[in-house]
A and B are shown apart, each in its own frame.
Chain A
Amino acid sequence: MSDRHDEPRCFHCQEPLAGSKLTARIGARLEPVCCPGCQAVAEMIAGSGLADYYVRRTTPAPRPTAASEEGSWRAYLEPQVASAFVTRGAVVDSVDLLIENLRCPACGWLIERAVGAIPDVKTVEVNAGLGRARIEWTAGAPRFEQVMRTIAQLGYVPHPITEETTSRVYCAERRSMLKRFVVATFGMMQVMMFAVAGYSAELGGERIDATLEQYFRLVSLLVSVPVLFYAGQPFLTSAWNSLRTKSVGMDLTVSAALVLAFVASAWNTFVGHGEVYFDSITMFVFFLTLVRLIELIVRHRTSSVADALARHLPATAQRAVGDKVETVPVQQLRLGDNVIVPSGAIVPADGEIVDGATLLDESLLTGESLPVARRVGDRVASGSINTGSPLRIAVTATGSGTVLANIVNLLRRAQTRKPAAMRTANRAAAVFLRVVLIASVMVCLAWLAVDPKQAFAATLAVLVVACPCAFSIAMPAALAASTARLAKQGVLITRPEAIETLADIDHVIFDKTGTLTRGEIQLAGCEVVGTRSREECLAIAAALERSSGHPIASAFRNMDTAGLMATAIETVPGFGIEGTIDGKRYRIGIAAFAAELRGAAVPRTRESLDGTTIVLGDEREALAVFTLSDALREDSPAAIEKLRSIGIDSEILSGDGSAAVASVAKHCGITSFFARRTPEQKLSRVHELHAQGKRVAMVGDGINDAPVLGAADVSIAMGRGAALALAAADVIFVSERPSALAGVIRTARRTAKIARQNLLWAGLYNFSALPLAALGYIPPWAAALGMSASSLFVLLNALRLLPRQSARNAQVARTAPAALATSA
Chain B
Amino acid sequence: MEILYVLIPLTLILVAAGCWAFFWAVDAGQFDDLDSPGWDALEDQETISTRDK
Contact A175 B26 (CB under 8 A): yes
The residue of chain B having its C-beta at the shortest distance from the C-beta of A193 within the complex is B11
CA of A571 to CA of B53 in the docked complex: distance in angstroms? 53
A215 close to B (CB within 8 Å): yes
Contact A212 B12 (CB under 8 A): no
- Which of B1, B22, B31, B49 lies in contact with A125, CB distance below 8 A? B49
CA of A212 to CA of B39 in the docked complex: distance in angstroms? 51
Chain B nearest Cβ from A121, distance in angstroms: 7
Residues of chain B from 5 to 36 with CB closer than 8 A to chain A in the complex: 5, 8, 11-12, 15, 18-19, 22-23, 26-27, 31-36
A526 close to B (CB within 8 Å): no
Q: A126-B36, A130-B33 are known contacts; what are 9 more A-B pairs with Cβ within 8 Å? A: A112-B49, A127-B33, A129-B34, A171-B32, A178-B26, A190-B12, A212-B4, A219-B8, A223-B15
- Which of A105, A115, A178, A186 lies in contact with B31, CB distance below 8 A? A178
Contact A112 B47 (CB under 8 A): yes
Known interface pairs A126-B36, A175-B31, A179-B23; A212-B8 also in contact (CB < 8 Å): no
- A residues within 8 A CB of B39? 56, 105-106, 108-109
CA of A222 to CA of B15 in the docked complex: distance in angstroms? 13
- A residues within 8 A CB of B51? 116, 122
Max count, chain A CB within 10 A of own CB: residue among B32, B34, B36, B39: B36
Contact B36 A128 (CB under 8 A): yes
- Which of B4, B18, B48 lies in contact with A112, CB distance below 8 A? B48
Contact A121 B36 (CB under 8 A): no
Known interface pairs A105-B39, A108-B36, A122-B52; A182-B8 also in contact (CB < 8 Å): no
The 7 closest A-B pairs by CB, nearest first: A116-B48, A105-B35, A127-B33, A105-B36, A108-B36, A105-B39, A182-B22
CA of A219 to CA of B26 in the docked complex: distance in angstroms? 27
Chain B nearest Cβ from A176, distance in angstroms: 9
- B residues within 8 A CB of A183? 19
Residues of chain A from 166 to 222 with CB closer than 8 A to chain B in the complex: 171, 174-175, 178-179, 182-183, 186, 190, 209, 212, 215, 219, 222
Contact B48 A129 (CB under 8 A): no
What per-residue 1/0 map shows which CB atoms of A90-134 lie under 8 Å from chain B? 000000000000001110110011011000011111111110000
CA of A126 to CA of B19 in the docked complex: distance in angstroms? 28
- A residues within 8 A CB of B1? 209, 212
Contact A215 B4 (CB under 8 A): yes
Query: 13 interchain pairs (CB within 8 A)?
Result: A105-B36, A105-B39, A116-B48, A116-B51, A121-B48, A128-B36, A129-B33, A129-B35, A129-B36, A175-B27, A186-B15, A209-B1, A223-B12
The residue of chain B having its C-beta at the shortest distance from the C-beta of A187 within the complex is B15
- B residues within 8 A CB of A105? 35-36, 38-39
Interface band, chain B: 20 to 34
Chain B nearest Cβ from A269, distance in angstroms: 15
CA of A552 to CA of B30 in the docked complex: distance in angstroms? 48
Known interface pairs A106-B39, A116-B48, A183-B19; A219-B33 also in contact (CB < 8 Å): no
Known interface pairs A215-B4, A219-B12; A127-B49 also in contact (CB < 8 Å): no
- B residues within 8 A CB of A175? 26-27, 31-32
Chain A nearest Cβ from B22, distance in angstroms: 5
CA of A598 to CA of B29 in the docked complex: distance in angstroms? 70
The residue of chain A having its C-beta at the shortest distance from the C-beta of B1 within the complex is A212
The residue of chain A having its C-beta at the shortest distance from the C-beta of B44 within the complex is A52
Chain B nearest Cβ from A617, distance in angstroms: 55
CA of A77 to CA of B34 in the docked complex: distance in angstroms? 34
The residue of chain B having its C-beta at the shortest distance from the C-beta of A115 within the complex is B48
- A residues within 8 A CB of B11? 190
Contact B49 A109 (CB under 8 A): no
CA of A125 to CA of B26 in the docked complex: distance in angstroms? 18
The residue of chain A having its C-beta at the shortest distance from the C-beta of B11 within the complex is A190
CA of A105 to CA of B43 in the docked complex: distance in angstroms? 13
CA of A182 to CA of B30 in the docked complex: distance in angstroms? 14
The residue of chain B having its C-beta at the shortest distance from the C-beta of A106 within the complex is B39
CA of A179 to CA of B26 in the docked complex: distance in angstroms? 7
Chain A nearest Cβ from B9, distance in angstroms: 8
- B residues within 8 A CB of A127? 32-33, 36
Residues of chain A from 378 to 414 with CB closer than 8 A to chain B in the complex: none
Chain A nearest Cβ from B5, distance in angstroms: 7
The residue of chain A having its C-beta at the shortest distance from the C-beta of B18 within the complex is A186
The residue of chain B having its C-beta at the shortest distance from the C-beta of A186 within the complex is B15
CA of A317 to CA of B23 in the docked complex: distance in angstroms? 45
The residue of chain B having its C-beta at the shortest distance from the C-beta of A117 within the complex is B48
- B residues within 8 A CB of A186? 15, 18-19
CA of A179 to CA of B31 in the docked complex: distance in angstroms? 11
CA of A212 to CA of B2 in the docked complex: distance in angstroms? 9
Residues of chain A from 118 to 158 with CB closer than 8 A to chain B in the complex: 121-130
Chain B nearest Cβ from A358, distance in angstroms: 42
Residues of chain A from 333 to 358 with CB closer than 8 A to chain B in the complex: none
The residue of chain A having its C-beta at the shortest distance from the C-beta of B15 within the complex is A186
The residue of chain A having its C-beta at the shortest distance from the C-beta of B50 within the complex is A123
CA of A106 to CA of B36 in the docked complex: distance in angstroms? 8
CA of A128 to CA of B1 in the docked complex: distance in angstroms? 52
CA of A190 to CA of B4 in the docked complex: distance in angstroms? 14
Contact A123 B49 (CB under 8 A): yes
Contact A123 B19 (CB under 8 A): no
The residue of chain B having its C-beta at the shortest distance from the C-beta of A130 within the complex is B33
CA of A179 to CA of B36 in the docked complex: distance in angstroms? 22
- A residues within 8 A CB of B52? 122-123
CA of A186 to CA of B14 in the docked complex: distance in angstroms? 11
The residue of chain B having its C-beta at the shortest distance from the C-beta of A222 within the complex is B12
The residue of chain A having its C-beta at the shortest distance from the C-beta of B34 within the complex is A129
What per-residue 1/0 map shows which CB atoms of A281-309 lie under 8 Å from chain B? 00000000000000000000000000000
The residue of chain B having its C-beta at the shortest distance from the C-beta of A176 within the complex is B26
CA of A113 to CA of B42 in the docked complex: distance in angstroms? 14
Chain A nearest Cβ from B44, distance in angstroms: 10
- A residues within 8 A CB of B26? 175, 178-179
Contact A215 B49 (CB under 8 A): no
The residue of chain A having its C-beta at the shortest distance from the C-beta of B4 within the complex is A212
CA of A106 to CA of B34 in the docked complex: distance in angstroms? 13
Chain A nearest Cβ from B11, distance in angstroms: 7
Chain B nearest Cβ from A256, distance in angstroms: 27
CA of A106 to CA of B12 in the docked complex: distance in angstroms? 42
CA of A126 to CA of B33 in the docked complex: distance in angstroms? 9
- B residues within 8 A CB of A222? 12
Chain A nearest Cβ from B31, distance in angstroms: 6
Contact A182 B19 (CB under 8 A): yes
Contact B33 A128 (CB under 8 A): yes
Chain A nearest Cβ from B14, distance in angstroms: 10
CA of A223 to CA of B14 in the docked complex: distance in angstroms? 13
Contact A113 B48 (CB under 8 A): yes
CA of A128 to CA of B39 in the docked complex: distance in angstroms? 11
The residue of chain A having its C-beta at the shortest distance from the C-beta of B35 within the complex is A105
What per-residue 1/0 map shows which CB atoms of A545-567 lie under 8 Å from chain B? 00000000000000000000000
Contact B36 A109 (CB under 8 A): yes
Residues of chain A from 746 to 803 with CB closer than 8 A to chain B in the complex: none
Chain B nearest Cβ from A644, distance in angstroms: 39
The residue of chain A having its C-beta at the shortest distance from the C-beta of B23 within the complex is A179
The residue of chain A having its C-beta at the shortest distance from the C-beta of B2 within the complex is A212
Chain A nearest Cβ from B20, distance in angstroms: 11
CA of A108 to CA of B27 in the docked complex: distance in angstroms? 23
CA of A104 to CA of B33 in the docked complex: distance in angstroms? 12
Chain B nearest Cβ from A328, distance in angstroms: 33
Chain A nearest Cβ from B2, distance in angstroms: 9
CA of A570 to CA of B19 in the docked complex: distance in angstroms? 70
